[in-house]
Amino acid sequence: QCSYIPPCARDDQENSENVTYKQKYWKEKVGSQPFTCYFNQHLRPDDVMLKRTHDEAVLLHCFLWPLVTLLVGVLIVLLTICAKSLAVKAEALQKRKHA
């Protein structure tokens, strides 16, 4: 069985109204009908969600952008090292020509 706890507000009256509204909704709309909910049976089987808060696209963005940032940073470092190496080689080549 699944249950829902609405988010708490600072005002007790507002909390009470939210709970009353949800109780009325569940009794009238859902009643004893089965409905889909999401839970993790291995980690915390007692904690359930009515709706998923994050889908695969959100997870993709959470991992994609830090990875892209890391790769761009590594690329900048590698290009800097290559540029320095080429500058040293060019300087050595010029010294040989003038000597």
Residues 6+ apart with CB under 8 A from 48: 2, 3, 37, 38, 39
The alpha carbon of residue 84 and the mean position of all alpha carbons in its chain are separated, in whole angstroms, by 38
* Mean pLDDT to the nearest integer, 27-44: 68
pLDDT at 52 (0 to 100): 63
Give percent above pLDDT 90 in the chain: 32
pLDDT at 35 (0 to 100): 64
pLDDT at 16 (0 to 100): 83
Whether the per-residue pLDDT at 12 is higher than 70: the answer is: yes
pLDDT at 25 (0 to 100): 79
pLDDT at 21 (0 to 100): 84
